[in-house]
Amino acid sequence: MPRPNGLHGGGLLPVLAQLAGMGIVAVSLWALPLGGTLSKALLVLWAVLGIVPVLGRSGLLMDALLAVLLWGALTFWVLMAGHWGNAAGRLAGNLAILPLGLALGHMRGRVVLAPVMVPLLIYVLLDSHFMLTSEGWRLNNPFLFLALFVLALAARDSGKPALSAAGVWPGCLAGIAIIGVFASQTRIAILAMAIVLVGRVRLHHARTWLWGLPLVGAGLWGVADYLPRILYTHASGRLAYWQMFWQQWQEGSASQRWLGFGVGAIEGQLQKLQSASSFGALHNDHFHMLYETGLLGAGIWGAGWGVMIWLVRSSALAVGILLAVMVTMVTDNTLSYGHYLLASGVAAGVAWSRRTAEMKALDHA
């Protein structure tokens, strides 16, 4: 069985597997302009191909089995609420990406980082550009940069010196990602990045105070002067649509509140509203699940998040990554960002795997 935190085994097969993984992820990135369905299907395929060979050799604890059962129950309920239609199939696929990434990262370890990081880095370097908006110039691909950021943190080997190769290249990659996220001026992405970083802060270290406070102060000064959009408090029209759907949910029948209005109901209504033609979707995945799958679906959704965080509780980095994803879902359509979900799952899984291995080593010391 592959060891959890490195390249596993010798010979040509592991190298070919990595190259094949990079190829699948690269094709999924360049398939984004064709629509998200093909892109996400490739991500799910890659994750499944990575998990299946080691599935029989990976014992599942009861809490992991509970997570699998909850994911299966939610998927079934989404398909039922959507009458097994296209919208239900898309949502079920979106719901699979993060758990599959988490399982893949935990079972395979650091070996699965490169197939995601390499094509992702090449893509953002080639595709990223500044767009002139009503609020000034903004860099695109904020969530792809955020994906690079969490992968870079997971790639950092905590057992190696900061100035070693194992510490320098992830640090450089994280630096590129931080610049990209800030240049996008996407507030929720910056907040998610900050949530992940909180778990990395060592308050008992003197350098945290000697270097950290001046850097934070300089960063806030730079944001106020050069990136004012980050400090804006407007909701980009979200509140009006949230209020509209919330009122509908409150006025709905008991069965609609408990069983939902049906998967695809929000998209169908927004497409009929001329004022929402550029809005896209609800920009709140938690409320989206409540509205379309009801209290029953939302209850399974919330329980699933609770179990995932409980599973990775030994790793502060893994918990921070999952919490950051949850926070982005408050004001964005994160469930449709397949590469960010996969990267977050893989990064959290790798961090969880590393921490589990460290704890086992301490127990046997």
Check pLDDT > 90 for residue 201: no
pLDDT band at 157 (very low <50, low <70, confident <90, very high): low
Of residues 150 and 62, more confidence is placed in: 150
Q: What is the pLDDT of residue 110?
A: 92
Classify residue 348 by its DSSP letter: H
- pLDDT number for residue 314: 93
- Residue 2's pLDDT is 38
Burial label for 104, CB within 10 Å (0-12, 13-18, 19+), is buried
Q: What is the pLDDT of residue 60?
A: 60
Of the chain, the percentage scoring pLDDT greater than 90 comes to: 60
pTM for the predicted model, two decimal places: 0.89
pLDDT at 316 over 60: yes
Phi, psi of 117 (to 5 degrees): -65, -45
Q: Confidence band (pLDDT; 50, 70, 90) for 95? A: very high
Specify the range with the lowest mean pLDDT, choosing from 62-71, 105-114, 132-141, 244-253: 132-141
Question: Does residue 224 sit in helix, strand or coil?
Answer: helix
Please tell me which of 16-25, 180-189, 292-301, 351-360 the model is most confident about, judged by mean pLDDT. Answer: 292-301
For residue 148, what are the CA distances in angstroms to 32, 68, 172, 342, 360?
17, 27, 11, 11, 29
Count CB-CB contacts under 10 A for residue 78: 27
**Residue 220's pLDDT is what?**
60
pLDDT score recorded for residue 166: 61
Q: How confident is the model at residue 133 (pLDDT cuts 50, 70, 90)?
A: confident
The residue that leads in pLDDT, 60 or 360, is 360
Which pLDDT score, from 0 to 100, does residue 10 have? 45
- Mean pLDDT of the 222-234 span: 59
120-150: burial string, b at 16+ Cβ within 10 Å, e else? bbebbeeebeeeeeeeeebbbbbbbbbbbbb
Least confident of 26-35, 144-153, 289-298: 26-35
Predicted local confidence at residue 3, as pLDDT: 41
Q: Give the single-character DSSP code of 263.
A: T
* DSSP result, 110-150: GGGTHHHHHHHHHHHHHH--EEEETTEEEES-HHHHHHHHH
Q: What is the model's pLDDT at position 1? A: 32
User: Of 85-94, 128-137, 238-247, 268-277, where does mean pLDDT reach its minimum?
Assistant: 268-277
pLDDT above 60 for 143: yes
- pLDDT tier for residue 212 given thresholds of 50, 70 and 90: low
Q: Identify the pLDDT of residue 15.
A: 85
Q: Which amino acid is at 235?
A: A
**Residues 304-314: tens digit of each pLDDT:** 999 999 999 99
pLDDT value of residue 30: 93
Has residue 363 got a pLDDT over 80? no
Q: Band of the pLDDT at 237, cuts 50, 70, 90?
A: confident
For the segment 26-49, the average pLDDT, to the nearest whole number, is: 92
DSSP result, 288-335? HHHHHHHHHHHHHHHHHHHHHHHHTTT-HHHHHHHHHHHHHHHHS-GG
Task: State mean pLDDT over 48-74.
Answer: 83
Higher-scoring residue by pLDDT: 279, 139: 139
Cα–Cα distance list, 232 to 3, 80, 132, 143, 283 (Å):
47, 40, 17, 19, 18
